[in-house]
């Protein structure tokens, strides 16, 4: 039974690797993709503080989480709309529980500009900066410029944080993408991963995985909204 479980887990992780590689065009033959299971483990890392923060969000009014799994603006737009419409109906911003979970391709929004430019993440993730129409070399949603959103006056990541919104990002995605990028550039996965962690925006919490967070929403009475599409 134990060997069967190990085989199933490795097959599952292999499928993640293959699927990710196809999506990012990082390797020639995704069927041969190999993923380092040891590198993926977070042994010794304490995520207890994140659990406490999730419980705090769940005790706030009308708590909701936006699942930002794709590189698009919808999670940020809906967070703005949520704040605005709750304000109109009697719930002030500091009382609302708002969480954005950045995972899969959505992790691009967790980075400072220099990381996105260094690793050409706009090109790798197939994400064009809405202000230029070209593959992103910066994060357009830290402090949005004109054209970042389809409507003016919407808050970006810093503005939403100022209103009380919480952001977290998938550490598993950091590690998976670090491996593929390192293979492509001929550098170590640890170098890429460390750049990812050190280049993370202030105030964004590192989560074991995005689905780890999503799996805790119901037990903390936090609503779920898929913001991969409008």
Per-residue pLDDT at 41: 76
Same domain, 57 and 162: yes
Per-residue pLDDT at 162: 97
Per-residue pLDDT at 43: 60
**Domain harbouring 79, CATH code:** 3.40.1260.10
Same domain, 5 and 62: no
pLDDT digits (tens, 9 = 90+) for 188-207: 999 999 999 999 999 999 99
Tell me the C-alpha distance between 198 and 182, whole Å: 16
Same domain, 116 and 164: yes
In the predicted model, residues of the chain with pLDDT beneath 50 are 1-4, 8-9, 11-12, 15, 17-33
- Look up residue 164 and give its two tokens: 């009380």
Per-residue pLDDT at 2: 47
Please provide the DSSP assignment of 35-57 as one string: --HHHH--TT---HHHHHHHHHH
Q: CB neighbours (10 Å) of residue 45?
A: 9
Per-residue pLDDT at 1: 47
Supply angle C-alpha 107, 108, 111, rounded to 5.
100
Same domain, 28 and 48: no
Same domain, 80 and 17: no
Same domain, 139 and 51: yes
Same domain, 65 and 5: no
Same domain, 23 and 96: no
Same domain, 22 and 111: no
Per-residue pLDDT at 229: 85
Same domain, 158 and 82: yes
Per-residue pLDDT at 36: 73
Per-residue pLDDT at 44: 55
Same domain, 109 and 184: yes
The residue range of the domain holding 201 is 42-226
Question: What total number of domains does the chain contain?
Answer: 2
Same domain, 20 and 72: no
């Amino acid at each position: 039974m134990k060997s069967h479980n190990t085989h199933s887990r490795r097959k599952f992780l292999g499928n993640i690797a293959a699927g990710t590689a196809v999506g990012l065009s990082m390797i020639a033959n995704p069927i041969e993709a190999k993923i380092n299971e040891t590198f993926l483990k977070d042994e010794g890392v304490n995520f207890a503080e994140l659990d406490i923060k999730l419980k705090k969000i769940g005790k706030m009014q009308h708590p909701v989480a936006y699942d930002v799994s794709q590189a698009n603006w919808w999670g940020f737009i809906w967070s703005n709309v949520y704040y605005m419409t709750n304000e109109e109906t009697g719930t002030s911003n500091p009382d609302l529980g708002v969480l954005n979970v950045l995972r899969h391709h959505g992790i691009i929004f967790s980075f400072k500009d220099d990381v996105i430019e260094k690793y050409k993440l706009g090109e790798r993730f197939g994400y064009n900066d809405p202000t230029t129409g070209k593959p992103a070399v910066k994060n357009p949603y830290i402090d949005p410029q004109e054209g970042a959103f389809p409507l003016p006056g919407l808050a970006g990541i810093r503005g939403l944080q100022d209103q009380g919104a919480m952001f977290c990002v998938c550490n598993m995605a950091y590690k998976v993408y670090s491996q593929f990028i390192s293979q492509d550039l001929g550098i170590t996965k640890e170098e890429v991963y460390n750049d990812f962690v050190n280049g993370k925006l202030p105030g964004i919490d590192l989560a074991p995985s995005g689905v780890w967070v999503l799996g805790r929403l119901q037990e903390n009475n936090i609503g779920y909204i898929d913001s991969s599409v409008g």
